[in-house]
Amino acid sequence: MICPRTGTVRVIQLQLWPEVWPFASTPAAIPALHASAVEHPLDNGGREVIIALSPGRPVQWASGPVPPCSGGHVNPAPTIAFSWQAIRRALVSARSFLVCAALAPLVACGGGSSSAPATPSATPSAPSTSSVIVNGRTLDVFSAAPQAAVTIRLPSGTSATSAADGAFSITNTTAGQFVTTATGSGVVERQTGLRFPGEEAKLTLIPASFDLATFDQMCRAGSSALRRWDTAPKLVVIDAVLQFTSVSEAAYTATSERLTAQERDAIVADLAWGLPQVTGEAFAGFASVTTESPQEGAQVAFYSREGAIVVARFNGLRSATSYWGYGRWASRSSVVVAGAVMLDRDFEKSGSRYQRSLRVHELGHALGWNHVTLRASFMNNSAVVEPNAFDKDATRLAFVRPPGNESPDRDPSPYAANFRFFPMIWGPITP
């Protein structure tokens, strides 16, 4: 055991990470969680454990049940998987915090109201510099080759430098999440969150030789935030040719003309061919492919299908706009949640050698990508280039960074490189 489970803790000072414990933001909720926590064995490798131990935002907890190991919280709902070793490290951290926190007026450990701590019995000291350590590796984002001599720096000024194999170990005096900067020659400076304590950090870095300016054009809408899908879209094909009116109508009228099965299959095949190439292989295929057959004269909703990319041929698109096709996306907080592809009916029937490049270009817009002017790319507005090596690298980078990542390589503030921010949570099993 790291620390005893006997005795009582009268008042303890804790900080809860609100994004981890949204349901435990009030002091009243804490004893219930602890009561539940105590029922769980700690030494089960499959258990999920959160440790909350920073004095930053005190929560008073009076005469509740004994918490497991004075400050270690066992989460009754599966949230974040830690190894048993990580649990042990975290409990050591919790203990060293309590040694310090025992000096604070709000904290009194032991059987009575005395402020003398019963456990642990170590002499109170300055915060242990070995209390919260994050280990990690710095790697090239494309090749996964180790990146040596990268300096990882915390806001406090504490820093560590990666070894020849990319390994680093950084120590902090306080638990919590901190914006961390990684710099080195030959790599683009990265800012991301690191959580102390936390899982091993895999800090991937963009090589300085990468064409970041074009990446910004394509994936960050000209250097604002990265915007992308985070789950594979569904594909919905409308097999009636729709009558074009203007580019942003909510619905279009179905004409009597139908796509043949062969034409429909060819559109699906081209989009399925392009999808993995322009999502950095993040999406091997569409989540599903369905066909809708609206009757002549029916109004077909085009921009209201969340989770899907809708594609259709349009009569009169080119004559009205002079373009062969259009692509569009809808996003929510930098996550693309819907897309649309409009293809000109006459161009589609023309047998053009650029039919596939146009379809994949418009798919690119439906995925959230913008026009590229700085180099050859499938996102050139000519739409005559098929996905090339740059396009594949750029979209791959887009899918190893969180939506909201900013230029040159700055992750959004809630994100931490060593923490799964939105963990998978199983509901109850039902027959």
Min dist CB 373 to Zn ion, Å, is 11
Stretch 257-316 residues interacting with Zn ion (CB under 5 A):
none
The C-alpha angle with vertex 386 and arms to 381 and 389, in degrees rounded to 5, equals 110
Distance in Å, CB of 303 to Zn ion, minimum: 17
Is 34 or 313 the residue whose CB approaches Zn ion more closely?
313
Report how many residues bind Zn ion under the rule CB under 5 A: 1
* Alpha carbon 138 to its chain's center: 19
Q: How far is the CB of 361 from Zn ion (least distance, A)?
A: 6
Which CB, 345 or 365, lies closer to Zn ion? 365
* Nearer to Zn ion (CB atom), residue 254 or residue 340: 340
Between 341 and 398, name the residue whose CB sits nearer to Zn ion: 341
Read off the DSSP letter of residue 151.
Answer: E
Give the pair of three-digit tokens for residue 256: 């009597």
The closest of 376, 402, 398, 400 to 278, measured between CA atoms, is 398
Query: Closest-CB residue for Zn ion?
Result: 381
What's the closest the beta carbon of residue 291 comes to Zn ion, in angstroms? 25
Q: How far is the CB of 286 from Zn ion (least distance, A)?
A: 20
Kindly write out the interface string for residues 190-229 of this chain, putting x where it contacts Zn ion by CB under 5 A and - elsewhere: ----------------------------------------
Collapsed DSSP state (helix, strand, coil) of residue 352: coil
Length of the chain equals 431
CB closer to Zn ion out of 177 and 377: 377
Contact 117, 109 (CB under 8 A): yes
Residue 68 beta carbon to Zn ion: minimum distance, rounded to whole angstroms: 57
- Compute the least distance from the CB of residue 315 to Zn ion, in Å: 20
168/329 with CB nearer Zn ion? 329
Q: The tokens 């729709």 sit on which residue? A: 242
Two tokens, residue 75:
């989460």
Helix, strand, coil percentages, rounded to 5, for the chain: 20, 25, 55
- Interaction residues for Zn ion, span 375-414 (CB under 5 A): 381
Select 303 or 323, whichever has its Cβ closest to Zn ion.
Answer: 323
Subset of residues 340 to 379 that bind Zn ion, contact rule: CB under 5 A: none
What region, left, alpha or beta, does residue 193 occupy, with left being phi > 0 and alpha being psi -120 to 50 degrees? beta
Pair 317, 344: CB distance under 8 Å:
yes
Amino acid identity at 118: A
Single out the residue of 248, 218, 252, 250 nearest to residue 367, CA to CA.
Answer: 218
**DSSP three-state, residue 214:** helix
Nearer to Zn ion, 168 or 314 (CB): 314
- CB of residue 47 to Zn ion, shortest distance in Å: 50
Task: Measure the CA–CA gap between 103 and 125, rounded to whole angstroms.
Answer: 9
Q: In the bound complex, what is the minimum distance in angstroms from residue 45's beta carbon to Zn ion?
A: 51
Of residues 224 and 381, the one with the C-beta less far from Zn ion: 381
* Strand ranges, E, within 57-112: 72-74, 108-109
Q: What is the CA radius of gyration of the chain?
A: 27
- Using CB under 5 A as the criterion, which residues of the chain lie in contact with Zn ion when the complex forms? 381
